[in-house]
Amino acid sequence: MKLKTIFILNTLLLLQMEVWAQHGSLFIIGGGDRPPSLMRTMIDAAELSSRDHIVILTMSSADPDTSYYYILQDLQPFCQQVIAKLQFAKENAQDKTMLDSLRSAKLIFITGGVQSRFMDVVLNTPIYTAIHEAYDRGAMIAGTSAGAAVMSREMITGEQWRADTLYSELSIVWSGTIYRSHKDWVYSPALSSINIL
């Protein structure tokens, strides 16, 4: 009886630890302009320390260098951290150095472009796992346009005006429901800035 009680208490303790496990946050930008106030809010919400770094994932973009340049210009006035561009492809999806940098980032920003281009590189790879591991350890996952679209379980691929609307099962971070957290943000130029509280 005593062993059974200890087993039950240990099981409950482990379950409780899972509930209280640290998780990151989402900062979802619905495309359009990224005003300085929005970038400052994102950097502040990410709670970056001087030792943290930021990773920009540019796989959605047809012009990754330009996407990186513009988000770098938006971020640099508000932070001193290293801001690294990671351009994964099928050929380097196993690159340990790049994956370690992604996994340990405190802020991961996914640029706009074509969301299916991003998911073609990321889904079912160590890149996907590394993004989830960073999030589980407290990283903020942020993105605009396509970068925002890949954060939901089901994604309209951008060809929604066709009769055969395309959806893609993916779930970079969300697991099917919108949940409320004091750290999660949604931004759309049409809606202004909305803190999900």
Q: What is the CATH number of the domain that holds 72?
A: 3.40.50.880
- Whether 103 maps to a domain, the answer reads yes
The CA distance from 105 to 76, in Å, is: 16
- Whether 5 maps to a domain, the answer reads no
SS3 92: helix
**Residue 81: per-residue pLDDT:** 97
Alpha-carbon dihedral angle through residues 162, 143, 120, 103, given to the nearest 10 degrees = -160
Residue 161, Cβ neighbours under 10 Å: how many? 6
**Residue 186: per-residue pLDDT:** 55
- Whether 10 maps to a domain, the answer reads no
- Whether 88 maps to a domain, the answer reads yes
| CB-based contacts of 121, cutoff 8 Å, min separation 6 | 59, 88, 89, 90, 93, 127
Query: What residue type is 30 in one-letter code?
Result: G
Give residue 78's domain range: 23-195
- Whether 123 maps to a domain, the answer reads yes
From first to last of the 197 residues of the chain, give the pLDDT tens digit: 554 444 444 444 444 444 445 578 888 887 777 889 889 999 999 999 999 999 999 999 999 999 999 999 999 999 999 999 999 999 999 999 999 999 999 999 999 998 889 988 998 999 999 999 999 999 999 998 888 778 766 655 555 555 444 444 445 554 433 333 444 455 444 343 444 43
